[in-house]
Amino acid sequence: MTTALTRRAVSGMLGLAVFGAAAGTAYADKKYDTGASDTEIRIGNIVPYSGPASAYGSVGKAMTAVFKKVNDDGGINGRKINFISYDDAYSPPKTVEQARKLVESDEVLFLFGVLGTAPNTAIQKYLNSKKVPQLFVATGATKWNEPKTFPWTMGWLPSYQSEARIYAKYLAVQQPTGKIAVLYQNDDMGKDYLKGLKDGLGDTSRLVLEESYEIAEPTVESHIVKMKSANPDIVVLFTTPKSGAQAIKKLGEMNWKPLTIISNVSASTAAVMRPAGVENSQGVISAAYAKDASDPQWANDPGLGAFRELLAKYLPEINPVDSSALTGYNIATTMVEVLKRCGDELTRANVMKQAASLKQFAQGGLLPGITLTTGPEDFQPIEQLQLMQFKGERWQLFGEVMSGELK
């Protein structure tokens, strides 16, 4: 009898142990770091809603709209997104202040979509020291693709160097012997573009002038005059929008018509080409990776249709042709996909792991053939662009989708 009782007791204890192990396994399936729970995912963001770069505020507004729609549709794996977006007026010291607040006070799971090269540079070391993801930053500097040095930082936009290498490939075919003059902004962005162009050209003897300007300069007109004196066949403008518009306008005023290339970041019809003068902008070359909502060929496109519907419901004050709004929409769409893949393991390490595991991921706001691919040793999601030329009152795509990778 004692033996029977003992057996029953042992059997009962084993049953409890099995039950406990099963319960423990179920519980263990859910893993959270600070900023995540059964009901919520807290995400931090910093965008210039005020100051000299306030035009980029629509990036943050579009991101906010995407997450509002996600929440209205039930959240991600049952969890609502708490998107906390602060203004830094494009001032790096303010960016640092806001990043610390997001990490230490708001206790977000990660930072996402912070805009600008200088603002992101100011917080990169801090976030990496805290092992807080700095995901899908809204800038194309090459430094966001250094997984060994900064394993918690990842870009999203095509790198400036990749884009510039594509221009070099184009010139190798269209103007293989033409002399080139470059105007570039004297910062990480401009230098990245210049390096990419040189790498793509290989032989840099065709570069007859490398002219830099400071972002604080009120106008770049004197630089364009200097470039003309070098008598180049090709002018390449690695500028931000205001300076790009001034440069194209000055080319027109001088009745100087070299083959002109302008960086994607300055290819806005509304902010650059029209202020420069549509007549002065004819024939200018650039490159794109996202669809242009003002282009009639996408009038009935399902991908841009979803974007327009989102704005109509959540951001009616934003013009659908605002390319910055589409950028915010596109980046947030990728973020939603990454969070879905995280499932119930919402740790900072797993968020980075899933972000670094994208394989030819396509989404509606990107041009056909443009996909996102990442790996543990390559944090650059987009490497392809398609060339376009300004004709009439809009950009027109031409040629095939091209890769900016060096072979």
pLDDT digits (tens, 9 = 90+) for 241-253: 889 999 999 999 9
End-to-end Cα, the chain, rounded Å: 80
In this prediction, residue 310 carries a pLDDT of 97
Beta-bridged to residue 255, according to DSSP, are none
Report which of 371, 370, 353, 352 is spatially closest to residue 361, judged by C-alpha positions: 371
In this prediction, residue 1 carries a pLDDT of 44
Q: Which two tokens stand for residue 102?
A: 């997001």
In this prediction, residue 319 carries a pLDDT of 87
Coil vs helix vs strand at 397: strand
d(Cα 222, Cα 113) in Å, to the nearest integer? 35
- Pair 64, 46: CB distance under 8 Å: no
Report which of 286, 213, 242 is spatially closest to residue 53, judged by C-alpha positions: 242
Region of residue 379 (phi > 0: left; psi between -120 and 50: alpha; otherwise: beta):
alpha
In this prediction, residue 28 carries a pLDDT of 53
0.95 exceeded by the pTM? no
Strands 345-346 and 31-32, by their bridges, are parallel
d(Cα 300, Cα 280) in Å, to the nearest integer? 30
In this prediction, residue 67 carries a pLDDT of 98
Strands 394-397 and 384-391, by their bridges, are antiparallel
Q: How many CB atoms lie within 10 A of CB 369?
A: 12
Give 10-residue mean pLDDT values along the chain (407 residues): 46 46 50 97 97 87 98 97 97 97 98 94 98 96 94 95 96 96 93 96 95 91 97 96 94 97 90 93 97 88 96 94 91 98 98 97 94 95 94 92 79
Q: Which residue shows structure tokens 């490497």?
A: 383
d(Cα 255, Cα 263) in Å, to the nearest integer? 22
Beta-bridged to residue 47, according to DSSP, are 87
CATH dotted code for 40-156+297-376: 3.40.50.2300
**What are the C-alpha distances in Å from 32 to residues 130, 162, 232, 394?**
16, 36, 58, 48
Please name the residues in contact with 49: beta carbons below 8 A apart, sequence gap of 6 or more.
57, 60, 87, 89
Please name the residues in contact with 13: beta carbons below 8 A apart, sequence gap of 6 or more.
none
Beta-bridged to residue 143, according to DSSP, are none
**Exposure string for 163-187, b = 16+ CB within 10 A, e = fewer:** bbbbbbbbbeeeeeeebbbbbbbeb
- Pair 97, 316: CB distance under 8 Å: no
d(Cα 311, Cα 268) in Å, to the nearest integer? 19
Q: What Rg, from alpha-carbon coordinates, does the chain have?
A: 25
Specify the fold of 161-288+388-403: Rossmann fold (3.40.50)
In this prediction, residue 297 carries a pLDDT of 87
